[in-house]
Amino acid sequence: MMDGPFSDEEQDAPLASGARTLQFLLALRAQGVSDLPVLRAMERISREPFAPARYGDLSRTDISIPLPCGQMMTPPTVVASFLVSLGVEPGHRVLEIGTGSGYVSALLSVMGAKVVSIERFQSLALATHERLSVLRIGNVDLQHGDGLNATRLLGRFDRVLLNGVVDVVPEHLLQRLTPTGRLVGALKVEGLSRKIVIDRVGDNAVDHSLGGPVRLTALSAGVAETL
């Protein structure tokens, strides 16, 4: 049995889906997640369909889960923390860099966002597109491309989410924010990966704050040549 706040479900007999979901949500609340829109989204969207089948029993545990192409599903508490900081409201246009499994895209969608999500690995993008279609998740424009250098996107975004760690936040992403927009991601600072929240204040100024350490993989520029 794995250690951690979500490990009770690893007991002998599997819990019913509703009971497992309730346990998952209670564990999130015990870790300090109290934002109702985020909790409701995580209640509606199970993490299990987004995890590789062999890791399905770990989908409600607070750990990273391996994905193809050397990528990882972010632990639920980190996902929740980022979504709370993002402050998504219905109708917001959200740019997501690093689609991965599509789990965060689905959460953003049920929270009422209009999502443009960019994934650099073609195989991940194709698999995620099929998954979102099967699950009937709408309002997600999934693109295969280089999210960190996505200079040809049309329009501005109310929110930008970086699903990974960067050494420097690309300036052009900040320019994509509306005058009251916000970017949330992780920044490498003195060897540590820390959450960063950047708010645009009008057209020409930004305000940023650093949070605590987070467990995330690095975001890479460029479209993957293989996979």
| Tens-place pLDDT, residues 7-64 | 333 333 334 467 788 888 998 999 889 999 999 999 999 999 999 999 988 888 889 9
Give the per-residue pLDDT at 21: 84
Domains with residue ranges and CATH for the chain: 64-213 (3.40.50.150)
Give the per-residue pLDDT at 14: 39
Give the per-residue pLDDT at 151: 73
Q: What is the pLDDT of residues 108-133, one digit of tens each?
A: 999 999 999 999 999 999 999 999 99
Give the per-residue pLDDT at 20: 81
Give strand pairing partners of 125.
none
Give the per-residue pLDDT at 17: 66
Give the per-residue pLDDT at 23: 87
Q: 100 — alpha (psi -120 to 50), left (phi > 0) or beta?
A: left
Give the per-residue pLDDT at 3: 34
Q: pTM for this one?
A: 0.89
Nearest to 33 by CA among 65, 79, 101, 2: 79
The stretch 57-78 carries a mean pLDDT of 91
Q: What is the pLDDT of residues 175-212, one digit of tens each?
A: 999 999 999 999 999 889 999 999 998 777 889 999 99
Q: From CA 115, how far away is CA 118, in angstroms rounded? A: 10
Whether the Cβ atoms of residue 198 and residue 183 lie closer than 8 Å to each other:
yes
Q: What is the pLDDT of residues 128-159, one digit of tens each?
A: 999 999 999 999 999 999 989 877 787 899 99
Q: Name the token pair of 156.
A: 């501005």
Give the per-residue pLDDT at 126: 96
CA dihedral 185, 121, 170, 77 (to 10 degrees): 0
